[in-house]
Amino acid sequence: GSYYRFGYSLDGDRHYTLDRVSPGGTPLGVPGGATVHHAVLPAAGDQVRVHQAADGTISAYVNGTLSISAVDAVNNLQATTYGMA
């Protein structure tokens, strides 16, 4: 199924992003959008953590600081796979 990916692309602005990805690898966008709390450019040694709560809230942290959050109470609520890019 689809899954969430928190990481960055070598293209564009390179900030960490949260993407929902189809089984075929196509970005689908986060339902309802994602909120950027702290835009972070990746650096060597970054500590990355992602948490999805039972209500569908997804919180992505870089070095202990909340970077991006979103709520998806429908897609992959219990079975999503997080990938680091």
The per-residue pLDDT for range 24-54, each reduced to its tens digit, is: 988 888 888 999 999 999 999 999 999 888 8
35-39, 68-72, 78-82: segment of lowest average pLDDT: 78-82
Read off the pLDDT of each residue in 46-70 and give the average, rounded to a whole number.
Answer: 92
Give the pTM.
0.81
State the Cα–Cα distance between residues 43 and 46, nearest whole angstrom.
Answer: 6
What is the SS3 assignment for 28? coil
Q: Which residues of 9-47 are buried (b: 16+ CB within 10 A; e: fewer)?
A: eeeeeebbbbbbbeeeeeeeebeeebebeeebeeeeeee
Question: What pLDDT does residue 76 have?
Answer: 57
